Amino acid sequence: MKSTFIACSMVVWALLCPGCGHLNLERRAQKTWPAVEVSTETLQILRSVRTSDVCDALDSMGLQQRYQMDSAMRPLYSGIRFAGIARTAEYDVIDRPLKSMSYQEFDKRQYAQGPQGLWREAGPWGGPDQVLVIDAKRTAAGILGSANTLDGRIKAVAGYVIDGTIRDSYECIIQKTPAFCTVRSPAHPMGRIGPVSNNQPITCAGVRVRPGDVIVADDDGVMVVPQEIADEVARRAKPIQDKDRPGRRRAYEKLGLPLDETVR
């Protein structure tokens, strides 16, 4: 009971004191579970297969209905496809409406460092081969937008998955931002939502995700592949894909359809 009280107190303190909370988040970012590094070879295979192949592979392992995100998690536009290593973040509702101020003051404080700042990220925005996975409690608070996702592209982030909001959605679409979300909204996050944890296990769209798990996403949805079984899932998913392509290619040829990337 005492440990639960302390843990809850840390979260409340982080939300009430953005500057101090950032220090707590950094301390909590240390891994507390045995991580299993996913090999480059396994990641490449999971990038070459469909979410349906991954789902079938998991089904064959007796793991039905455990690692498929809620169907509300949809791609920002059709044709998005990526796989990468999860980097996680969690936010929660704080419901502290901003006080009236001049726009000049708002602009100055919006992303300012220190206690005067109106917004704090849960943590760094990832790097090469990573997918930023965010539990934002399905709120209308735009954590992801056209500017910070461009910054992520510069850092070679593979994709974004947020149980919450993407705003500036038209700009994100024309920028070809590889992102999935459950909400679209024009609202910014200041006063609506605040950071809880950085790179710790989270639940996103109904599925437990840990840093180091593999995220596979395409038009059908988002699958989470636990890092401990990624090699086996890849071994099973690849022949499913390899078997499917020739059969569909023969059907294309009979119908006189031009071959595309899905059958070559």
Distances (CA, A) of 251 to 238, 259, 262: 21, 10, 12
- How many Cβ atoms are within 10 Å of 103's Cβ, its own excluded? 7
Which residue range forms the structural domain that includes residue 145? 68-96+124-225
Q: Does 59 map to a domain?
A: no
| pLDDT confidence bin for 1, thresholds 50/70/90 | very low
Residue pLDDT, tens place only, 17-68: 444 444 444 444 445 556 789 999 999 999 999 999 999 999 999 999 899 9
> Structure tokens of 198?
């950085």
* Residue 153 forms part of a structural domain: yes
Half-sphere exposure of residue 34, counting CA atoms within 13 Å on the CB side?
1
Provide the number of structural domains found in the chain: 1
- Would you say residue 176 lies in a domain? yes
Asked if residue 39 belongs to a domain, the reply is: no
pLDDT tens digits, residue range 173-224? 999 999 999 999 999 999 999 999 999 999 999 999 999 999 999 999 999 9
The type of residue at 127 is: G
